[in-house]
Structure formats: C-alpha cells, structure tokens
Amino acid sequence: MALSLPMQGLSNEQVLDHLRVLGGHDVNWRDHRAFGLVYHHSDAHTKLMQEAHNLFLSTNGLNPMAFKSLRRMEHEVVRISAGLFHGDDATVGTMSSGGTESILLAMLAYRQHARSHRKSIRHPEVIVPESAHAAFYKAGEYFDIKVISVPLQKDYRADVDAMAARINRNTIALVGSAPCYPYGVIDPIAEIAALGLKHGLPVHVDACLGGFLLPFVERLTPEERIADIPHFDFRVPGVTSISADLHKYGYAAKGASVILYSDMAYLRHQFSASTDWCGGVYVSPTLAGTRPGGAIAGAWAALHSLGEEGYVSNARAAMETAKAFIAGINAIPELEVLGDPAVTIVAYGGRGPGVGAYALGDQLEARGWHVDRLQRPESLHMILNPGHLHVADVYLADLREAVAYVKTHRDAAFEGSAPMYGLIAKAPLRKLVKKQVFGIVEQMYSATGGGSAAELSAESAEAGDAPQEGAIPSLPPLLIGAMRVKARLRRLFGRA
C-alpha cells in the first residue's frame, strides 16, 4: 500500500499534534509503569538532553575534520569512560550508536585481528555464557562467527570451566557480562580474563547495562549497596575490551555507547577504509556512515552535567529502589528473585509450580504495568531506575493481588498470553518458533504493516483488556491447542 505525501505540507502545529497523538499510544514510561527501554533521570535532565541534541541536530560525525566539535566531544567521552574503567594511556575507543553496535564492533575487531594474526583459523568462534546479550548472536550472523553458548552455574553466572572446555584452535575471543541482561548478575570476569591470558585470547566485557552504574555503586558504602562489586574493568589483567552504554545508566539521549579497547592493536581492526572508491577516500571508524552529532553532544552533556556527584547520588537512589523491590518480592512466599542481582536488574518467578510467572505477568499487565518476560526459567524481568521507587508500593500491592489471583484461578496459566509465552519458551521445535517470529517481523515491515492511526485507536480501545495473544508472536493454532491440552493433562495427572 503506497502512502502519498500531503500535497501541501502540514503546519508545524499540525505535525506536532499528530506526533503527540502517535506518542500517546506508547508504553506509559513517564509514570514508571515500564521496566526497561527508557532510562529517565529527571525532567530537567531530559530538557538538557533535548537542548544539547538540538544544538548539534544537523551535524555529522562522519567527517571529524569538518566537525571538530564532535571529534573533541567524542574524544572526551571516550577518555572519561576510559578513566571510569581504569584504563591507561594505551586505552582507546570510539562512540557508537548503542550497545548492539559496540558489541558488533568488538566482535568484528576480534575476527579481523585473529585473521591477520592467526592464519590457521578457519571458522572463527566466540565463547559466551548463555546469558550474554542477543547482540552477540547478531554479530555471529553478520560476521560469520560461530557463537558457542555455554550453560551457566546454578547462580546464573558464567561457568568458566565449561567455557574453558570449549576453547579450540578456532576460538577468537571470550565474553563476560557486567551484569548480564537476564539475571542482573556479574560474571566472574577475573576468571574469564585469566582464561583469556592463559590461551592468548582477547576478553570482551559487556558492561552495556552496568558501565555507567557499577563504577558509582563501587563508591557507595557496603550498607548502601545490595552486593559487593567485583572488579570488572581494565583493572582485571586480560580484559581487552569493554562496551558501555551512555544511553542507559549514563542518562544520555538515545544513540550513545562507547566501545573501548586496551590497545590500538584491537581498535584498528574495527576501522574501515575504501581508498580506491571513485567517490574519494572514505574512512569510517564504526558501522555507521553518517554519525548523528546530536547523540555525541547529548552524551558529552550528560557526563558533564551530572558529574561524579550526580552519578553517585543516582547510584545510591537506584540501590535504594532495588532493595525495596527485591525485599518486597522475596517477602511474598510464593515468589523468589533469581540469583543475587548485583545492582538494579532483577528477575523473579514462582518458588514452586503453583504460581506461573507468565500468568502473573498477564495479571500485572491487566493492572497497567508493562511486563518483560524471560524464557529460562519462566520469570519476569525488571530494569529499575530511581523513579521506580515512587511506584514500588503500588507495584508490590498489585503483585500480591496477582499472586492471590493466580493461586485461586488455576486456569490463569491457560488464559491470556501465558500459555503462548510458555509455549514459545518450551516449544521443542525452535526452528518453527524462529520461522513464525520471522513471519511476524516480515508482516510488520510489509507494505501494510506500519500500524495505521485507525489500528492504533482500536488497539488503545482494547488496552484495558487482558493482553491478547495477537500482541505477541503467534504460533500455529493447532500447535497451541495441542500444547494447551498437554499442559492440562499434565496438571490433571499431577505432573505440572
């Protein structure tokens, strides 16, 4: 379906009105009803981000000679980050558009580095703990790197012995997270790095989530923290690169991350140069061509406006928030927090088989919360910011209600979206799930898939209802029916 341009452009006011209406259908993060995607510091800080971004809205970091301001800001953001992670004068890096790009760049750099130094490598492999972010698999697909995913220890941290067992002549790098996205625990970085040193392999630390939080939590008193923070950065011998997102706990405008290396010997392999192109000599340091100056200026502005004190006091408030949620969840006998979260990323699920996390998720959504779900084990996921402290009591009250509902309505696990999530997590036919998910994405990006205003209004009219299956990837109805029957039978025979 082709859409045509309005013959005459709309007035600025009309355009903005339309945008406001569209934005009105988004998740309600302003009232702290969502736990991820948005990292909000304060309205005043957001205003500063908008102004800083606007000042450099039209600029382009692709040519640092033309925009010396951006070169300077990027350099300072990188140097400040290198200082936070205890790098030295050899530490180098670039900014990127986000955690995924930083991870893609590191994996690309290690592949290229291995190719130029270890001719025997046939098919490069990277070893990651199972909890490593999906961006590593994306890097694998993009750059033809085999990603070896290794099961975790019982406490959800990387199992370093299991990683060691997978090292072979094709291994090009090892990975650990600080903390990982699913469970919020910090992998044993010192042990992974020691393994790297032993085998002469580079070690990447994914601190996309924790990079601009952990250094400031370290400065708190033990009573203020919820856990000790082990060294995760360049203080650990063997760590050769760190990705850290400014647009998460750095509270920068979206589109800002850093990728740092212990040495130019690695960084140089992420650069690309086309010297024979008829369009001229074309050099680019990251994946993007045009690099939006607003994101660089926003990151510079966030670091300089919050400063050390601002980040430390934010870390203190974030820890208070995490304590309130963790204590509140653990006080509900039917629930338990998974592992020992290091900071503000918390996953929880039912203690026994009686209370399914996906059924709880449906109940929380019916009460106006935006819920994220994990697949293994069945659990709910939260990324907390200080603003969530304002809603901790309401959330926990809703959670207690949800638990009571799920306990007394055993069918809750077979209604709403719960069976669908259960199915996706457990379906043995992973290829089929992938095919279906691709189908949904293709539909979303097809000529008719944008979501018209009418559809948006219809969706919002339904928003008060329990979540619909259509809101999440749908699988063939026959398969769903079969899985439901199977689940009911198992329950009837006491094996649920």
Ligand X SMILES: Cc1ncc(COP(=O)(O)O)c(C=O)c1O
Among 138, 118, 86, 112, residue whose Cα is nearest residue 242: 86
Do residues 214 and 207 lie in contact, with contact meaning Cβ atoms separated by under 8 Å? Answer: yes
Q: Report the DSSP pairing between strands 372-374 and 379-383.
A: antiparallel
Least Cβ distance, residue 444 to ligand X (angstroms): 18
C-beta closer to ligand X: residue 192 or 359: 192
Q: Which two tokens stand for residue 422?
A: 């259960």
CA distances from 402 to 138, 224, 321, 358 (A): 36, 30, 21, 11
Among 318, 347, 420, residue whose Cα is nearest residue 131: 347
Considering only 208, 239, 337, 355, the residue that binds ligand X (CB under 6 A) is 208
98 interacts with ligand X by CB under 6 A: yes
Size, binding site for ligand X by CB under 6 A: 13
Least Cβ distance, residue 243 to ligand X (angstroms): 7
SS3 category, 201? coil
Q: Which helix (H) or strand (E) holds 477?
A: helix 477-492
177 interacts with ligand X by CB under 6 A: yes
C-beta closer to ligand X: residue 215 or 416: 215
C-beta closer to ligand X: residue 101 or 362: 101
Least Cβ distance, residue 374 to ligand X (angstroms): 12
**Interacting span for ligand X (CB under 6 A) from 137-145, 150-158, 203-211, 457-465:** 203-211
C-beta closer to ligand X: residue 236 or 244: 244
Strand locations in 22-136 (E): 92-96, 125-129
Considering only 233, 245, 362, 365, the residue that binds ligand X (CB under 6 A) is 245
Q: Whose CB is nearest to ligand X? A: 99
Considering only 133, 157, 291, 373, the residue that binds ligand X (CB under 6 A) is 133
C-beta closer to ligand X: residue 124 or 255: 255
Among 56, 35, 134, 115, residue whose Cα is nearest residue 345: 35
Q: Is the dihedral of CA 43, 48, 53, 54 positive or negative?
A: positive
Least Cβ distance, residue 493 to ligand X (angstroms): 40
Least Cβ distance, residue 381 to ligand X (angstroms): 10
Alpha-carbon span 65 to 301, nearest angstrom: 21
C-beta closer to ligand X: residue 74 or 245: 245
206 interacts with ligand X by CB under 6 A: yes
How many CB atoms are closer than 10 A to CB 43?
8
Considering only 92, 127, 135, 239, the residue that binds ligand X (CB under 6 A) is 135
Q: Which two tokens stand for residue 31?
A: 């009232």
C-beta closer to ligand X: residue 39 or 67: 39
Amino acid at 110: Y
Q: Is the dihedral of CA 202, 207, 212, 216 positive or negative?
A: negative
99 interacts with ligand X by CB under 6 A: yes
Among 289, 270, 287, 263, residue whose Cα is nearest residue 116: 270
C-beta closer to ligand X: residue 231 or 488: 231
385 interacts with ligand X by CB under 6 A: no
209 interacts with ligand X by CB under 6 A: yes
Least Cβ distance, residue 180 to ligand X (angstroms): 6
Q: Which of residues 100-119 bind ligand X (CB under 6 A)?
A: 100, 103
Mutual orientation of helices 99-117 and 135-143 as an angle, nearest 10°?
Answer: 40
Q: Which two tokens stand for residue 36?
A: 């991820």
Among 218, 245, 236, 217, residue whose Cα is nearest residue 174: 236
C-beta closer to ligand X: residue 59 or 257: 257
187 interacts with ligand X by CB under 6 A: no
Partners of residue 292 on adjacent β-strands: 60
Reported as half-sphere exposure (CB side, CA atoms, 13 A), residue 339 has a value of: 29
**Interacting span for ligand X (CB under 6 A) from 98-106, 302-310, 327-335, 397-405:** 98-106
Residues with Cβ within 8 Å of residue 480, at least 6 apart in sequence? 419, 420, 423
Alpha-carbon span 125 to 34, nearest angstrom: 36
33 interacts with ligand X by CB under 6 A: no
344 interacts with ligand X by CB under 6 A: no
C-beta closer to ligand X: residue 181 or 251: 181
**Interacting span for ligand X (CB under 6 A) from 41-49, 93-101, 190-198, 261-269:** 93-101
Where do contacts with ligand X occur on this chain (CB under 6 A)?
98-100, 103, 133, 135, 177, 180-181, 206, 208-209, 245
